[in-house]
Amino acid sequence: MSRHFARAPGVLSRHTAGRVLLLPPAAERPVELAGTGVLVWELLARPRSEEDLAAVLGDRYGLAPSAIVKDIRPALRALEQSGAIRSEP
């Protein structure tokens, strides 16, 4: 069973020129997301599993979800480390 990801509470955000700026509660400066990262952030408006995210993105880009999972894992890890999202088993 894969982990579920959700937006962390208290994250502030703004869209700017196809990107999203996120300010997690403990961050000194905003984190900037572009490309797929923006879509991942939008999808995480409700908690989702890694597979669920990969299925939606795969559908969108015409790729196999298994290929997408490998791509989004580093992005999810980076977002988690920044405090913008959190995961639960």
Q: Which residues bind another protein (CB under 8 A)?
A: 9-17, 19, 21, 23, 25, 29-30, 32
Alpha carbon distance 87, 89 (integer Å): 7
**Beta-carbon contacts of residue 69 (< 8 Å; ≥ 6 apart):** 50, 51, 54
User: CA geometry: angle at 7 spanning 71 and 57, to 5°?
Assistant: 35
Least distance from another protein to the Cβ atom of residue 67, Å: 30
Taking the CB of residue 36, how many other CB atoms lie within 10 A of it?
16
Least distance from another protein to the Cβ atom of residue 76, Å: 20
Q: Choose between 41 and 57: whose C-beta lies nearer to another protein.
A: 41
Q: Choose between 25 and 35: whose C-beta lies nearer to another protein.
A: 25
Q: Choose between 38 and 55: whose C-beta lies nearer to another protein.
A: 38
